[in-house]
């Protein structure tokens, strides 16, 4: 048996909700010389069944199961004992590794034999704009570890032998800070060196359910405080309660927004920093790098002073510490903030109320424009790191969308970049453009074509271009529709694919409304339907296309592509036509409901690309929703296909 270069080590406990995406992200790595060692920690849901199916399909997976729940630290220690490779890459069962993560980290570890642990930058799963950028150099990492972990556990690749020799594995008594404790113990050894790659190679999931998150955070900080005290003892410090409170304030920084800082609190932090610095640079066994440590302390002192209060007294305290950076920039910021507050009071006292409202609205509009442009710049910056689509599956999963006119430059490229930036990628992404709009295609599309985008031309059938041409060109493939004016999260396609594997013959949708009827069994107006339902399988489901739908082959009625008919019955409402063509296809679905909604899918708060303008009178939204266009077109379609009325009767019987 050949020894793999890397062991990817993952534990899983009741992880069925996000497991498929996590596993798929590892199996799709560009680096392939690895074993995937998975410890199921006595799960009680479908986790083990899902993992068994993957293990059956991919020989790189080695699956083990704990007879009883051992928790993560003990399970990881078990995994370390079973791992065959000299390098361990950590992975969590609810996160996502970018396709080139292992390739980048393995190359780095090969080139830097002195490095024991290598992490990466990451982005937050449900907030892609939230980026966690770690320090990259050993000295800076070690200085930060005095205050908290800056090597994010599931992103790491480390040398198994060094971990075993110098740390003996994870401490099961310190969950959920077992990783911080491991890094702390390793940082006390002179032969152990850390590094972080600055590239974003990981998508990390945070659970912010109020009560659960609060309890978890409190427990984690309790355990982390034990680790912090251990690090302080290592440099000869036994802080008093007041001193450790100051250390904790410096460690937490801007997250202590609810704490009211008194002058004595700030002064205690100032004194503690001086004491900590002196002890660290004079430690007997392992001295900290003087300039690196000083830089870290300057950063924390500045952050604390900046975010603890808006009072000028705290800004002045900043300059009393040896860890300040005297600069005119900081003084200018203080003066600007003070002048701004004074100007606000003056204007409030002399300007008419209506004029104040107009000024506030103008400020709001300018902020929206800045936010919109910043987001676009961030998305454009993703292009160089995009990996090309492979286009090698049969049947294929094809994302299909359309655009026109100014939107081809204003919004479409940004939507397409987010579609190319998926953690699990489709086989193809096709943009359908009307022949007369060829001239409006922007130059940036050439860069996206190099990453796998295809642009095809067709007759102008309005919004129907997103699906009809794809159905005709690829009758045996899976078509996923998207819009040209929405940012799509990186798990968008993975969630569709995961739900599709559970329901291979169904139409999978991120977003749907629930059809409603009145007591006389007549359709209520479209605007009164229940919007963005979370889940369900019922005749009342009405999918909406913008958030994304996955259509299996042959799922539509034979009339689906009759252009004259759909342009007559529903010229402005492709969603209505696609819905009617699915629910009337009894040959494919029999008497079953065609649709499955992704629970907690991309349904609420869709991120529009251009948020800086109001909906104009000629938009589809205004016509279909505000002027009753959807109701008119629904009635036209139902009259043409009277069998839909039988379906609506089932809804009536179900509701009443």
Q: State the average pLDDT over residues 536-541.
A: 68
Q: Are 556 and 484 in contact (CB under 8 A)?
A: no
Provide Rg for the chain, Cα atoms: 29
197-201, 319-323, 647-651 — which one is most confidently predicted on average? 197-201
In sequence order, what are the beta bridge partners of 551?
479
Among 3.30.70.20, 3.40.50.300, 3.30.460.20, 3.90.550.10, what is the CATH number of 385-655? 3.90.550.10
pLDDT confidence tier of residue 264, bands split at 50, 70 and 90: confident
Q: How many CB atoms lie within 10 A of CB 89?
A: 28
pLDDT confidence tier of residue 345, bands split at 50, 70 and 90: confident
Domains 6-209 and 385-655 share a fold: yes
Q: Is a pLDDT exceeding 90 seen at residue 363?
A: no
Q: Are 499 and 599 in contact (CB under 8 A)?
A: no
Q: State the average pLDDT over residues 201-221.
A: 79
Sign of CA dihedral 483, 486, 490, 496: negative
- Regarding predicted confidence, which is higher, 220 or 317? 220
In sequence order, what are the beta bridge partners of 197?
120
pLDDT score, position 617: 42
Calculate the average pLDDT of the chain: 88
| Distance in angstroms (rounded) separating the CA atoms of residues 539 and 654 | 9
pLDDT tens digit string along 603-623? 777 888 986 544 444 466 666
* DSSP secondary structure of 373-415: HHHHHHHHTTGGGPPPP----SS-EEEEEE--TTHHHHTHHHH
**65 Cβ partners below 8 Å, 6+ apart?**
39, 40, 42, 48
pLDDT score, position 315: 57
Q: Is a pLDDT exceeding 50 seen at residue 201?
A: yes
pLDDT confidence tier of residue 656, bands split at 50, 70 and 90: very low
Give the phi and the psi of residue 108 in degrees, each rounded to 5.
-65, -45
Q: Is a pLDDT exceeding 70 seen at residue 329?
A: no
- Regarding predicted confidence, which is higher, 614 or 625? 625
Q: Is a pLDDT exceeding 60 seen at residue 309?
A: no
Q: State the average pLDDT over residues 159-175.
A: 91
How do the domains of the chain map onto residue ranges?
6-209, 351-380, 385-655
| Distance in angstroms (rounded) separating the CA atoms of residues 190 and 284 | 12
pLDDT score, position 615: 42
**477 Cβ partners below 8 Å, 6+ apart?**
395, 396, 397, 398, 553
Q: Are 272 and 250 in contact (CB under 8 A)?
A: yes
pLDDT confidence tier of residue 407, bands split at 50, 70 and 90: very high
CB-neighbour burial class of residue 588 (10 A; exposed 0-12, middle 13-18, buried 19+): middle
pLDDT score, position 338: 61
Element of type H or E holding 629: helix 629-640
Q: Is a pLDDT exceeding 50 seen at residue 58?
A: yes
Q: With a threshold of 0.85, does the pTM exceed it?
A: no
Half-sphere exposure (CA, 13 Å, Cβ side) for 456? 20
pLDDT score, position 618: 44
List strand residue ranges (DSSP E) for 615-654, in order. none
Q: State the average pLDDT over residues 157-165.
A: 93
Which of 163-167, 184-188, 232-236, 471-475 has the weakest average pLDDT? Answer: 163-167
Among 3.90.550.10, 3.40.50.10470, 2.40.50.360, 3.40.50.300, what is the CATH number of 6-209? 3.90.550.10
Q: State the average pLDDT over residues 308-328.
A: 62
pLDDT score, position 484: 95
Q: Is a pLDDT exceeding 50 seen at residue 221?
A: yes
pLDDT tens digit string along 364-391? 888 888 888 888 998 999 999 899 998 8
């Amino acid at each position: 048996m050949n020894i793999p270069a890397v062991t990817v080590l993952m534990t899983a406990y009741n992880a069925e909700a996000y497991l498929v995406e996590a596993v798929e992200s590892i199996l799709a790595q560009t680096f392939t010389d690895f074993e995937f060692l998975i410890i199921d920690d006595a799960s009680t849901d479908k986790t083990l069944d899902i993992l068994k199916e993957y293990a059956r399909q991919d020989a790189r997976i080695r699956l083990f199961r704990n007879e009883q729940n051992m928790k993560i630290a003990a399970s990881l220690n078990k995994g370390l004992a079973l791992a065959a490779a000299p390098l361990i890459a950590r992975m969590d069962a609810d996160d996502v590794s970018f396709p080139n993560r292992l390739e980048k980290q393995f190359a780095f570890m090969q080139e830097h034999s002195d490095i024991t642990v290598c992490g990466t930058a990451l982005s937050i799963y449900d907030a892609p704009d939230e980026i966690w950028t770690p320090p990259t150099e050993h000295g800076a990492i070690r200085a930060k570890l005095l205050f908290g972990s800056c090597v994010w556990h599931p992103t790491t690749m480390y040398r198994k032998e060094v971990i075993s020799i110098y740390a003996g594995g994870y401490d099961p008594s310190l969950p959920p800070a077992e990783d911080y404790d491991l890094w702390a113990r390793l940082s006390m050894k002179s032969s152990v060196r850390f590094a972080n790659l600055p590239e974003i190679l990981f998508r990390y999931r945070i659970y912010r359910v109020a009560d659960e998150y609060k309890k978890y955070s409190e427990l984690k900080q309790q355990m982390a405080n034990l680790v912090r005290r251990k690090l302080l003892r290592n440099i000869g410090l036994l802080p008093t309660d007041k001193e450790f409170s100051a250390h904790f304030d410096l460690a937490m920084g801007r997250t202590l927004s609810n704490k009211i800082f008194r002058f004595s609190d700030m002064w205690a932090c100032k004194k503690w920093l001086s004491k900590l610095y002196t002890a660290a640079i004079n430690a007997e066994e392992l001295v900290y790098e003087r300039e690196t440590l000083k830089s870290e302390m300057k950063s924390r002192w500045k952050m604390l002073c900046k975010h603890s209060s808006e009072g000028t007294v705290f800004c002045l305290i900043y300059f009393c510490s040896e860890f300040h950076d005297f600069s005119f920039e900081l003084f200018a910021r203080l003066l600007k903030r003070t002048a701004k507050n004074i100007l606000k009071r003056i204007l409030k006292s002399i300007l008419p109320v209506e004029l104040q409202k107009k000024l506030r609205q103008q400020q709001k509009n300018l902020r929206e424009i800045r936010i919109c442009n910043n987001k676009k710049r961030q998305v454009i910056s993703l292009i160089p790191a995009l990996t090309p689509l492979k286009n090698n599956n049969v049947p294929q999963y094809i994302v299909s969308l359309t655009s026109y006119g100014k939107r081809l430059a204003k919004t479409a490229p940004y939507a397409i970049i987010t579609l190319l930036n998926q953690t699990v990628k489709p086989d193809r992404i096709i943009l359908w453009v009307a022949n007369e709009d060829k001239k409006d295609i922007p130059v940036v599309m050439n860069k996206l074509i190099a990453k796998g985008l295809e642009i095809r031309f067709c007759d102008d059938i309005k919004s129907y271009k997103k699906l009809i041409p794809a159905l005709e060109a690829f009758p045996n493939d899976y078509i996923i529709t998207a819009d040209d004016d929405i940012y799509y999260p990186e798990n968008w396609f993975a969630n569709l694919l995961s739900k599709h594997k559970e329901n291979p013959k169904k139409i999978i949708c991120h977003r749907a409304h629930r059809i409603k009827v009145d007591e006389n069994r007549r359709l209520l107006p479209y605007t009164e339907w229940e919007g963005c339902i979370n889940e369900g399988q019922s005749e009342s489901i009405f999918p909406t296309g913008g958030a994304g739908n996955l259509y299996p082959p042959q799922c539509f009625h034979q009339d689906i592509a009759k252009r004259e008919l759909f342009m007559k019955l529903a010229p402005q409402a492709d969603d209505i036509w696609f819905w009617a063509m699915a629910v009337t296809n009894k040959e494919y679905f029999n008497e079953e409901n065609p649709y499955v909604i992704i629970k907690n899918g991309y349904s609420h708060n869709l991120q529009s690309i251009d948020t800086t303008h109001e909906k104009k009178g000629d938009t589809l939204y205004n016509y279909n929703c505000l002027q009753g266009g959807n109701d008119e077109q629904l009635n036209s379609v139902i009259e043409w296909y009277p069998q839909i009325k039988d379906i609506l009767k089932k809804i009536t019987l179900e509701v009443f």
